[in-house]
Amino acid sequence: MANDRSKGPPVEVFWISGSPYAWRVLLALALKGAPFASRLLEVSKGELSSPEFLAVNPRGKVPALRDGELTMGESMAIVRYIDRRFPDPPLFGRNHAAEARINQNIDEIENYVVPETGWITRALFVDLVAGKEEILNARAERVRTELGNVETRVNTWLVGDAISAADISLYPVIAALLRAAGKPAAAALDLRLLPFAERYPRLAQWCSRVEALPGFDATYPPHWRE
């Protein structure tokens, strides 16, 4: 059955510029060609702790989604909802085996990549590296190991011959990490991530494929263009 995208108001997506987790949701909607109302929030204005936003996500975190009376947070839960709400093209495969492989990749990304990259990215973006060099370098080593694992198995996409939720899960995390690795504070660390295309050529090509997708430019963090 074709998606019926004309009935009722569009879903609302609450996000902040540069959040890799919110970026996942924007990418999913772009790939679906789904209508949505963008609610771009600003941390500096305290909008994440406003009563209006806390009514959507009591944790005060993005991304968050409101679809009529439904409100929810957590990026991959939202991506799964979007996939049901707008079924075409499917982001979790067309059969149980494909769905299982996609979910395994997502779980590996969430359990082994995100915790390590999150530490590094946050420290570099807010310039809190001093005194944390040893622990950040140890995390960078684990990141390199995980990226190396993905490098050995990525083909056109992470799973199968079509983009999936696994790609959407990983790409924003890598993009944020590489932007952070270009910050001046990174010079104090032994990241060994750049130049990315030389260290991880297959992953770099995969990134380029994601960036060439229709609608990608509209999801790009606006403050990164400044």
- Global pTM value: 0.94
φ/ψ of 126, rounded to 5, equals -105, 10
What are the chain's domains?
11-85 (3.40.30.10), 96-218 (1.20.1050.10)
Judged by DSSP in three states, 81 sits in helix
| Closest C-alpha among 23, 6, 62 to residue 175 | 23
Judged by DSSP in three states, 157 sits in coil
Q: Which residue type is seen at 198?
A: E
Angle, helix 20-32 to helix 75-85, in steps of 10 degrees: 10
Mean per-residue pLDDT pooled into runs of 10, the chain (226 residues): 54 97 98 96 96 97 97 98 96 96 97 96 94 97 97 95 97 98 96 98 98 96 92
Q: Which pLDDT does position 197 carry in this prediction?
A: 98
